[in-house]
Amino acid sequence: MLLGAIADDLTGATDLALVLSREGMRTIQTVGVPPAGFDPANVDAVVVALKSRTIPSSEAVRMSLEALAWLKAAGARQIIFKYCSTFDSTPKGNIGPVTDALVKALGTDLTIVCPAFPANRRTIYKGHLFVGEQLLSESPMRHHPLTPMTDSSLVRLMVAQSGLQVGLVSHDAVARGVDAVRDAFDAAKTRRDRVVVVDAISDRDLRVIGEAIADFPLVTGGSGIAIGLPENFRRAGLLASDKTAGQFAAPAGRSAILAGSCSEATRKQIKVAIDAGLPVLKLDPIDIVEGRITVGEVLEWTLSQGDAVPLIYSSADPQDVLAAQKRLGQERAGEVIETFLAQTAIGLRGEGVRRLIVAGGETSGAVVGALAPAALLIGPEIDPGVPWTLTSGDNEPMALALKSGNFGAADFFLKAWKMLT
């Protein structure tokens, strides 16, 4: 293993894992810190997904240090602390406190803060973070329910959150290339900066910065900062230049789709699948609560579909969701569906399903929690941000595609299978 990453949420972890995989690293993602004995054989990068963005900072620090200890023990030569490209955090953290703790634990004299992700229109200029054409503080992020971002200056944000001295490497240096960035790092060290915000407005900038930080034990930023890192390992002869990352032989077995997302995109995908003739079973939370449908009945229905790919969904339009929420309460309605779909996933695995698509972020979290694979190997990308993954650490691996509700083209449920060999 070459590169280890600590991500502060699950979908952010997948995002980073995809960047590394695209750049030629065989990458796995784990949900939480893996058990001590878990051996990440034959991989170049491991991304540990935590859920530490908005929890108390002492807890976030504890979890991150635990992840660091595991990654170091597994052989990681460089560590990325990955957070959101809109720097989602509160004045208390957790980006600052976790960075401070990782800097201390790794004994490094300088690290960078670079959440830029130009492909998603997140850029940094003179230390200010932009979302598209807007400053972060003028973007919709200023109204975020958990982490409202009302300042765009990454230097000020880090000063507020971190106990370390914070500086800036501005775009003038980045535009001049790798040597100029290295000189700027040396100047920062002379000033006794321990953290520097680095400007980046393009992927070219990220590759320049990536080369300049080849020997940094710790890098912090968004997924974008990973773009230039795999090449460092390739240059050092540690990473093969063939692009076999992102490929795996999918296990043979039955296929199925579970959808718990009520997003517009997922409902459209369901409609396209129905029009194409896929057998469907619609679940209603009230039927579940009142015992009119059981997991056993769903499995029986699934098995009676022969070779066709069954689609089991609870996705409903906003009025129906509201009606169910009125009857059961918002939280309970969600939980009922999530638990039912998670148990269905376990049942499907028991019946020989080895290829499974799950639609919905929370729904995916519930299903992965129930299936509890030790890790997910990142495979081919079906649509932007959604890869096939292969569970590992199990005797019987499964191909899983975990789709955030709004992701994917209208024919996602039809075309995804074609990418499995």
How far is residue 391's CA from residue 327's CA, in Å, rounded to a whole number?
A: 37
Name 359's Cβ contacts closer than 8 Å, sequence gap at least 6.
257, 258, 259, 260, 261, 266, 269, 313, 315, 403, 405
Q: Which two tokens stand for residue 151?
A: 């300042």
**What would the x/- binding string for ligand ADP be over residues 136 to 175, using CB under 6 A?**
----------------------------------------
Minimum gap (Å) between residue 321 Cβ and ligand ADP: 4
SS3 218: strand
285 touches ligand ADP by CB under 6 A: yes
Minimum gap (Å) between residue 305 Cβ and ligand ADP: 22
How far is residue 141's CA from residue 87's CA, in Å, rounded to a whole number?
A: 10
Q: What is the DSSP letter of 200?
A: B
Residue number with the smallest Cβ distance to ligand ADP: 405
Minimum gap (Å) between residue 130 Cβ and ligand ADP: 26
Q: Which two tokens stand for residue 225?
A: 């900062």
Question: Which listed range, 100-108, 126-134, 237-245, 332-340, lies at the site for ligand ADP (CB under 6 A)?
Answer: 332-340
Question: Which listed range, 24-32, 170-178, 201-209, 333-341, lies at the site for ligand ADP (CB under 6 A)?
Answer: 333-341
Q: Which two tokens stand for residue 361?
A: 């972020």
Minimum gap (Å) between residue 363 Cβ and ligand ADP: 3
361 touches ligand ADP by CB under 6 A: yes
360 touches ligand ADP by CB under 6 A: yes
Q: What does the angle CA 112 – CA 153 – CA 124 come to, to the nearest 5 degrees?
A: 60
Closest alpha carbon to 252 in 402, 54, 398 = 398
Rule CB under 6 A: which of 336-355 touch ligand ADP?
Answer: 337-338
Question: Which listed range, 58-66, 74-82, 358-366, 386-394, lies at the site for ligand ADP (CB under 6 A)?
Answer: 358-366
For residue 305, CA distances in Å to 32, 104, 231, 283 come to: 36, 57, 47, 17
Q: Which of 272, 321, 409, 419 binds ligand ADP (CB under 6 A)?
A: 321
For residue 141, CA distances in Å to 54, 84, 85 come to: 15, 12, 11
316 touches ligand ADP by CB under 6 A: yes
373 touches ligand ADP by CB under 6 A: no
Tokens 């959150």 correspond to what residue?
Answer: 161
Minimum gap (Å) between residue 84 Cβ and ligand ADP: 16
Q: Are strands 195-198 and 166-169 parallel, antiparallel or unpaired?
A: parallel
Q: Are strands 122-125 and 3-7 parallel, antiparallel or unpaired?
A: unpaired
Minimum gap (Å) between residue 316 Cβ and ligand ADP: 4
362 touches ligand ADP by CB under 6 A: yes
How far is residue 332's CA from residue 348's CA, in Å, rounded to a whole number?
A: 24
Minimum gap (Å) between residue 265 Cβ and ligand ADP: 8
How far is residue 112's CA from residue 196's CA, in Å, rounded to a whole number?
A: 5
Question: Which listed range, 2-10, 91-99, 202-210, 255-263, lies at the site for ligand ADP (CB under 6 A)?
Answer: 255-263
12 touches ligand ADP by CB under 6 A: no
324 touches ligand ADP by CB under 6 A: yes
Q: Are strands 311-313 and 280-282 parallel, antiparallel or unpaired?
A: parallel
404 touches ligand ADP by CB under 6 A: yes
Minimum gap (Å) between residue 364 Cβ and ligand ADP: 7
29 close to 72: Cβ distance less than 8 angstroms: no
- Contact positions toward ligand ADP, by CB under 6 A? 260-263, 285, 314-316, 320-321, 324-325, 333-334, 337-338, 360-363, 404-405
